[in-house]
A and B are shown apart, each in its own frame.
Chain A
Amino acid sequence: MTHDDASAFALPRRGLIGAVGAALLAPGLAHAQAAAPGAPSAVIDVNRARAAPIPIAIPVFAGADGASSALGGDMAGVITADLGNSGLFRPVSQAAAAGINGAAGQPNFPAWSAVGAQALVTGSIAASGPSMRVEFRLWDVLPGTQLQGTAYTSTTANWRRIAHIIADVIYERLLGEKGYFDTRIAYVAATGPRGHERRRLAIMDQDGANPRSLTDGSWMALTPRFSPVHDQLAFMSYANNRPRVYLLDLANGRQSALGEFDGMTFAPRFSPDGGRVIMAVAHGSGSDIVVVDLASRAAQRLTHSDSIDVSPCYSPDGSQIVFNSDRGGDQQLYIMGAGGGGARRTSFGSGHYATPVWSPRGDLIAFTRFGGASGSFNVGVMQPDGGGERILAQGWNVQAPTFAPNGRVLMFESQSRAGEGGAGYSSHLATVDITGFNQRPVRTPTNASDPAWSPLGG
């Protein structure tokens, strides 16, 4: 609600007071004071809403033949999993949906309402050789209205991606914000015994499907980061025993070192326009933050201190940079302008702060916090001014958060404590929404760490 809205709703009370006063002084004026145009004279207030997911029914998409029907079941399953895992939808069971049939293209709304569905997704698939056409409609069950109707044509090999796109459309139409299902995760896949792992860059769909390696594991790779505009990753590699930041073109697999620096370069991140990469450069016992223009490869040093300045990340509008520094004697978060200078501390909680990442919505900064009173690792969020800090996940070692492109979900790595000889150790990925109420593991075929979320459609 805007300020104007607030004043609009403040009018009746003021109007009433004015009317009473005017009635005492001059009865003729009372009528004119009481009638505030556009403001309700009396309303029934409903407030203190519950936080509850939207019940949604997603029956199997109809198919003209056996292949289409099988595909329809698979697609409905992916859509159901996407929406259900978000925690913002509660899919109605397929058993409850069985036997509910509409007529003449119109769903049987009373029947869907009876099984508790408030939203309904219907669809059909017509597969023809390698191509297929998918239609779906989103219905608001209680008013009985269609909210969305879209058709897609593609190859059947892309059925999974189309299902994610449909889930994104549903998410956006029912929640008013972009979805995040048609995205991928870059991460570091580790294999082998503890202490001798082989670490490769890997990539998969956001739900863990279609995992594949991007590097062969000859050299350790860390901290992959997606370009917001190109099919490209920045990451740190120990290739040739010279740790540096590299760029990897995902379309052709080409790698190239980013800039020539005397010291080690690490912790890269792209600028919001994708034209620059900001990263840390080690020097002596400390490190500075530098930005490299990708077109000219010109580098600019943004911090000049003897402290350790690392983990820089741009604000979504590109005007500010949050980073991690021990310049105050303790590892804390600082924010400075995109041109450097004027750094101010923004974290003041108990313990040390690391790996800050700015939400794409701009309203939050996620971080890793460790030490302090609890002694454990935490992943949390705070407002850019340092207020409203809250912890979303806690564990023996949870760290490295990355935001979904809509800023509603964080993915992070979670390690379990290793016993004797590394027994019981695991490192996996998990998601948690920014309210902290919906934490879920992400399945990966190997141990996984350092997740990076792609932009939508990336």
Chain B
Amino acid sequence: MRRSAAASLGLHVLLVAALLIGLPFGRSPEPPPETAVDMVFQSPGPATKAPAPAPIPAPARTPLPLPAPPAPTPPTPQPLEDTTPPPPPPPPPAPAVVAPPTPITPPPKPTPTPAIAAPTPPKAAPPPPLPPLPLPPPPAPPSPTAQPNPTVNPAPSSPALQNTLEKLRAEARLQARAPTARPNPRQGGAPNSGGDPLANDTSALSASERGAIGDHVRPCWTTDPGALDLDKMQVLLTVTTDASGVVRLAVVAPADQGRVAADPRLRVFSERAVRAVLSSACANLPLPAKLLGKVNVLTFRFRP
């Protein structure tokens, strides 16, 4: 008995220790994924790929002696092995300028208290003969707070088959009604904003105010004029400003993220757009007074 109890105790201690060690309590966040790709550049030696240059004679008025043509030399590959580890990961990037959202602490749930069973009265001795019963009191008026509590089973006393049929009929009647449920409000959108991503603060701007902001950013907006299909490119950015109207964050809008991820040219196009709104010369947006004093989320559309 003692042995088994000791063995059981030991196993429990091991289990608890394994859980404590295995669980990620107190671990630091994972470093950003290493994007470095360790490549071994293996090429023929300089005799083949970049041979020692046989100097070409400088221009002269008289023909110079001809350099001998290169002797056919077989390539001498130099196998190289990269045994060192890839570059160490950089430390995690500096925290974003926009403060992360403060986690909302949910209100403590009420601790369920165990129901206390009512004490059962002690059994009494057999009662004496009862006097004649008085008349029942009149029914009390319904309390305004009383809730009707209709029975779930419409035919509690019916036989089992009849009872089931009644249930089915009742469900069919409920299902015949028009649905009254409504979809949940849209979630997501710009960081810290919540709500509908398409209904951000841009809609609070008039056309002239939007035009003024676009004119302000335009001097910083540059493209590569030789890019293929440049005239067909455009991208939506979700831009977050601080209370003074300075751009603090710019990301590709969710509607365009798929296209940008699939097209390297559109990706660099969008990166240039991000640089335009983040550049110090253009990041201070001319927001109207009604939008100052709070964080704003705006939608920009960049086109060539």
Contacts and interface: CB of A to CB of B under 8 A. Distances in A.
A376 to B, nearest CB: 25
A83 to B, nearest CB: 13
B228 A177 contact: yes
B177 to A, nearest CB: 20
B36 A150 contact: yes
A381 to B, nearest CB: 11
Nearest to A198: B63
Nearest to B87: A135
Contacts of B225: 51, 435, 437
A43 B69 contact: no
A191 B202 contact: no
A44 B37 contact: no
B35 A9 contact: no
A66 interface: no
A172 to B, nearest CB: 8
Interface string B260-278: 0001111111011111101
A77 interface: no
B75 A105 contact: no
B232 interface: yes
B56 A42 contact: no
B71 interface: yes
B69 A210 contact: no
A143 interface: yes
Given A50-B221, A251-B74, A158 B46 contact: yes
A143 B226 CA distance: 25
A107 B203 CA distance: 38
A390 interface: no
B300 A43 contact: yes
A8 B280 CA distance: 32
B43 A363 contact: no
A214 B66 CA distance: 11
Contacts of B39: 150-153
A142 B222 contact: no
B221 A211 contact: no
Interface of B: 34-43, 45-46, 48-51, 53-64, 66-75, 78, 80-82, 84, 86-88, 90-91, 93-94, 198-199, 202-203, 205, 210-211, 213-214, 217-219, 221-228, 232-234, 236, 250, 253, 255, 259, 263-269, 271-276, 278-280, 298-304
Top 8 A-B pairs ranked by shortest CB distance?
A149-B36, A176-B265, A252-B72, A52-B222, A142-B278, A253-B72, A176-B268, A176-B264
Interface of A: 1-2, 5, 8-9, 38-52, 54, 88, 104-106, 109, 113, 118, 131, 133, 135, 137, 140, 142-146, 148-155, 157-158, 160-162, 165, 172-177, 189, 191-193, 196, 198, 200, 202, 205, 210-218, 251-254, 361, 363, 408, 433-435, 437, 444-447
